[in-house]
Structure 1
Amino acid sequence: MKDITDYQDKKILVLGLAKSGVSAARLLQKLGALVTVNDAKPFDENPDAQELLEDGIKVVTGGHPLTLLDEGFELIVKNPGIPYTNPIIKGALSKKIPIISEPELAYQVLSGEMIGITGSNGKTTTTTMIQLMLDEKRPAGHAYLAGNIGIPATTVVQKIQSQDTMVTELSSFMLASVTTLKPHIAVITNIFSNHLDWHGTRENYVRDKMHITKNQTEKDYLVINWDNPEWQHLSKQTKAQVVPFSRQDLTEDGAYQKGEDLYFKGEKIIAASDIKVPGVQNVENALAAIAVAKIEGQSNESIVHVLESFGGVKHRVQYVTTWNDRDFYNDSKATDIEATQVALRSFTKPIVLIAGGLDRGYTFEKLEADFKAHVKAIILVGQTSSLLAETAKNAGVPVIEFAHKVLDAVPLAYKASDAGDVVLLSPANASWDQYKTFEVRGDEFINAVQTLQNGKKA
């Protein structure tokens, strides 16, 4: 980490806590700033604020009082989730107080290299693939994960040295306030229409995504999906060297799929079928990661080893194990219909599906075609069991069974499966009717599969 004096004795407000806010506050304190943190959660229910107060940082909790803006702050470090429509943010803008995000602060003290990854879909998987590839047989230093993947950049940056790389997932919320942040390699996996309630319009959303390349120069690289004319057009906004990737064989200037194989600039890297994580979306993620790894000078051997062994990000079509010729996958992160559609379309083998969860008042007709095409049996849990059962019945799924929880569904799914099948947890629903988080639900699936393997009663 760089030893900078820019923030010595400066009054800085950290707006919003959670992991990133706590980490930013601690870094600023280390840099000599006079830090105040403000969080909407009441103090008695806010262990983060309590710990920061014990460490000598001023805390204001229970709301965002506009009177804070009278205290002469020279900078605000904003939690990414707080929109620019928030009154205190609007007030700060009117007073011309600079506002940055937590990764921006991290970048200002970064002594190594930053690779930044954004996009509507595939960010976390692509970020993880890149980190693993760049850390494989690395001659010096390490590649570290950071950012929206759940690891604050301001925490990671404190251990980064000049030979290291910080592989950083960047959300549109984080990118909205970019001032100096400049990845040496920026990756855009794709851009659709997400978070319009936060950004206001799709135009704003796209603009904020493109901030990832805002400060890049001719010495930097933009790796961008080439399979949509809009994304090709967006690439004209950068000063960086454009390295495209395409699953549709639209370019030979970067990474691309041709037939059943993946290439980089005419050189075959790997067969698509050898990638451990299933689905065309992961072929795209792999192509983006290949492009970054090749720019960074990594060997084909290292790239292939990662793609053949990486089982996926936990809870996102995560490969768990193969047992008795059944492949078990944990996709507990699939908390909506669209995510489950992606998971079902990722496999060519017959699927025994475990689904169901919190009833949010919608029905599941959109899944009928995917059930018909991919699902041989379905085990249902949670509040939406009967609704999903109706859809499965209409799709002609021959086996429809019910279980109390995922723990009970796994042995039923195994019993309904045959050699060569996939047993998939992809709920199409949030977990909150039975589980605190989707992670808890996914962990229960993994544990139940291990219990099954070990021959214990589930």
Structure 2
Amino acid sequence: MKTWKQFPENVLVLGLARSGAAAAAALLENGKKVTVNDAAATYEDTAVKELQKKGAHFVLGSHPLHVLEGKEVVVKNPGIRYDHPVVAEALKRGILVITEVELVSHLTEQPIIGITGSNGKTTTTTLVTEMLKQSHCKVKLAGNIGIAATEVAQTMQPDEKMVIELSSFQLQGIAAFRPSTAVLLNIYEAHLDYHGDLESYVNAKCQIFKNQDADDYLVYNADDPILQEKVTDAKAKKIAFSATKQLEQMGAWADDTHIYFFEEAIMALEDVVLVGQHNLENILASVAAAKLNGATNEGIQYVLKTFSGVKHRLEFVGRHKGRYVYNDSKATNTLATQKALDSFKKEIILLAGGLDRGNEFDELIPHLQNVKAMVVFGETASKLERIGKEAGVQAVAHANGVDDAVEIGFSLSDEGDILLLSPACASWDQYKTFEERGDIFVQAVHTMD
């Protein structure tokens, strides 16, 4: 385990939540003086009481600038923007501002596989972890996928590796963090309200390889022109992946029949459960990262033959009454639904609708060619009905909600059809979260048996 001798003594943790609580606990356990500032937490919260017992000082209810007095570093919650008054003042005073993931550098020297990208992070992180597990490699999962990296880092054993999902928010706040294998999946315009512009967003993503050297690996998407340019100056060994061209000398790729790693055929494409071009890219990135870290072909094959998707992300629910059912409740915008629709060649019954954010859905029209029926619900039902009719969809029906839409969807479908929940909208008009919406969908499907 690394020492903390070079890490500053006086630390402000800005924002409690999961990552803040984990960071504060790790700092306290390593002898640092910690102040936690959070506007929403109360002194009755369990996390506050536990950290107080360990010696943390708290300033709750507001964000006064005096919390910076005497501080040498700020560990901020990744979701807190850099124009936040405390963060902006810290930077003005020359105080180092980092995110919780940076502390991993001080907690473990074990190999880290770091995964980022605009889309596909969770699927790829899960695939890599499972491929290594099925290859009898010891591995722990952490990061933006739901488990604070500092919590995991403190439990790492000498023969273990960490697989960590990383957001641009986390990566913008690193100084020395260095994954032994970095994976860059893709770049799309996203989170510009946080980063300000596309260049800043891209630069934040590329922080993942800034501290790597020639002993490390950088797995990147050779089909992404932005990444192709950005990785030019990387010091790590570059391993490409591509879903469109052969890379016998460069990394992971696929043709019409097989998945390859360099010149080695790993498995037949027809045996892969996950569907869609975007998932093929995730799979190729996963194969590259897993092979570089000791995965066997048998371990990779087992995962790709059985893994049906991350929950609510084009998740294969199963075959029910002859229909192939997919839960894509995470598709809260039109881009995500476009990708889902483009993943299938069979006829689709599309279940869609939800919160009305004022946008229209005309960009979906070219992607509705294989849709023979739509079941629409929520605030956007009428808008989706309009584009369905303009696209020539045979039948468009209204439903009261997801459970009602399932019953109607089955009635409009035939054996062999795809029943797809891909709402293209947020859930908040009828459901608390997209997870709740997806769970209700899956439950309704099972009641059709």
TM-score grouping bracket, smaller chain normalisation: over 0.9
Aligned counterpart, 1:93: 91
1:411 is displaced (CA, Å) by 1.7
Q: Number of matched residues?
A: 448
Cα shift at 1:8:
9.1
Report what 1:456 is aligned to.
Answer: none
Report the 3-state secondary structure (helix = DSSP H, G, I; strand = E; otherwise coil) of the residue aligned with 2:447.
helix
The equivalent of 1:155 in structure 2 is: 151
> Structure 1 regions of 5+ residues with no counterpart?
454-458
- The answer to whether the 8 Å contact 2:135/2:300 transfers is no
Residue 337 (1) aligns with residue 330 (2): no
Kindly provide the amino acid, as one letter, of the partner of residue 291 in structure 1. A
The alignment status of 1:37 with 2:33, answered yes or no, reads no
Aligned match of 2:187: 191
Segments of 4+ moved more than 3 angstroms: 3-9, 44-56
Alignment of 1:413 onto 2:412: no
Deviates more, 1:301-310 or 1:221-230: 221-230
Q: Is the 8 A contact 1:11 1:74 kept in 2?
A: yes
Mean CA deviation greater in 38-47 or 253-262: 38-47
Is residue 144 of structure 2 the alignment partner of residue 138 of structure 1?
no
Which whole-Å CA distance do the structure 1 matches of 2:176 and 2:29 have between them?
21
SS of 1:159 mapped into structure 2: coil
Distance 1:274 1:56 in 2: 54
Match for residue 316 of structure 1?
Answer: 313
State the distance in 2 between where 1:77 and 1:29 align: 13
Aligned in 2, Cα 1:47/1:232: closer, same or farther, shift over 3 Å? Answer: same
Q: Is the 8 A contact 1:272 1:283 kept in 2?
A: no
1:245 counterpart letter in structure 2: F
CA distance change for structure 1 residues 298 and 443 in 2, over 3 Å: closer, same or farther? same
Q: How does 1:84-233 map to 2 (within 5 A)?
A: 84-138=82-136, 142-233=138-229
Structure 2 residue 372 is matched with structure 1 residue 376: yes
Alignment match of 2:348 (pick from 351, 356, 375): 351
Shift of 1:259: 2.8
How far apart in 1 are the matches of 2:315 and 2:200?
Answer: 33
Number of the residue aligned with 1:68:
67
Letter in 2 for 1:75: V
Shift in Å, 1:55: 5.8
2:307 aligned partner, one-letter code = F
Q: What is the distance in 1 between the residues matched to 2:199 and 2:293?
A: 32
The verdict on how the C-alpha distance between 1:360 and 1:91 changes in structure 2, with shifts beyond 3 A counting, is same
The percent identity for this pair of structures is: 47
1:367-415 CA distances to partner (integer Å, 9 max, x unpaired)? 12222x1211111121111111111122221221122121221122112
Q: Could you list the runs of 5+ residues in structure 2 that have no partner in the other structure?
A: none
Provide the rounded CA distance (Å) in 2 between the counterparts of 1:438 and 1:162. Answer: 39
Matched residue SS, 1:43: coil
Aligned to 2:381: 385
Q: Confirm or deny: 8 A CA contact 1:15 1:78 kept in the other structure.
A: yes
Is the 2:240–2:252 Cα contact (8 Å) retained in structure 1? yes
TM-score (norm 2): 0.95
Aligned to 1:361: 358
Task: Kindly report the root-mean-square deviation, in angstroms, between the aligned alpha carbons of the 2 structures.
Answer: 1.9
**1:258 paired to 2:255:** yes
Equivalent position amino acid for 1:153 in 2 = A
The answer to which of 331-340 and 202-211 deviates more is 202-211
In the other structure, the counterpart of 2:26 is 27
- For 1:430, the equivalent position in structure 2 comes to 426
Residue type at the aligned position of 2:359: Y
**Structure 1, residues 79-100: CA drift from partner, whole Å, max 9, x if none?**
1111222221121122222221
Distance 1:88 1:50 in 2: 24
**Contact 1:9/1:32 (<8 A) preserved:** no
Does the aligned pair in 2 maintain the 1:12–1:73 contact within 8 Å? yes
